A and B are shown apart, each in its own frame.
Chain A
Amino acid sequence: QVQLQQWGAGLLKPSETLSLTCAVFGGSFSDHYRSWIRQPPGKGLEWIGEISDGGITKYNPSLKSRLTISLDMSKNQFSLKLNSVTAADTALYYCARHIRGSRGLDSWGQGTLVTVSS
């Protein structure tokens, strides 16, 4: 049974950097893409970006200039950094793993609420 556990700072000031990490337990870490998704309070889902085993990343163009997703295969972890946050970045952030050979997200983290406020 695969489990994703995520953590990171939950309260940021405008212009600071959002930093989250997601660890994968159980199952296989390799041969799966991994994504980050966010959900503003009371709203729908927004795909942020993904990373492959080889560290190849694809980002949502709306966030690309501020976004870095990275991978640490030795620790079975992947991370998200979003620079220069504003109140518009306030959301519940999820990490998720793709089904092997598909873009379906079959395992999700518990979510981390990140609030940006002065």
Chain B
Amino acid sequence: DIVMTQSPLSLPVTPGEPASISCSSSQSLLLGNGNNYLEWYLQKPGQSPQLLIYLGSNRASGVPDRFSVSGSGTDFTLKISRVEAEDVGVYYCMESLQIPYTFGQGTKLEIK
């Protein structure tokens, strides 16, 4: 199985400040078609996860442009330019290259 490792696991952030979450995979998620088979999800408290980013760099419908991503291959970063109160929750990266798809441990973002 591909092992996904996120850091940090806990992220306290002041509203209006930027935040970043790292995700690394035990093998490259980049295929010859140029796509990275990596997704990012946010699970808000008491809710089902919601898709933020798919195929490495594509924002899902309705996701604000303050969310951006960088990286390719084995190392990726999700960035929030200015954190808002509604961004609290647990962020997960997930590889979708190889069965079984695997998730990172999750990064809990909280407001200071």
Residues of A at under 8 Å CB distance from B?
Answer: 35, 37, 44-47, 58-62, 94, 99, 102-106, 108-111
Contact = CB atoms under 8 A, between A and B. Distances in A.
B106 A44 contact: yes
B49 interface: yes
A104 B103 CA distance: 12
Nearest to A99: B54
Interface stretch (B20-28, B66-74, B77-85, B94-102): B94-102
Interface string B7-34: 0000000000000000000000000000
Contacts of A94: 48-49
B94 to A, nearest CB: 7
Contacts of B43: 45
Contacts of A105: 39, 41, 49, 51
Most buried by A among B49, B50, B55, B106: B49
Interface residues of B, number: 25
B92 A44 contact: yes
Nearest to B49: A108
Most buried by B among A103, A106, A109: A103
Contact of A103 (B41, B60, B101, B106): B101
Interface residues of A: mostly helix, strand, loop or mixed?
A: loop
Nearest to A104: B54
B96 A106 contact: no
B103 A45 contact: yes
Contacts of B54: 99, 102-104, 106
Given A102-B55, A103-B96, A108 B48 contact: yes
A111 B47 CA distance: 9
A94 B60 CA distance: 19
A61 B99 CA distance: 8
Contacts of A58: 99
A106 B40 CA distance: 11
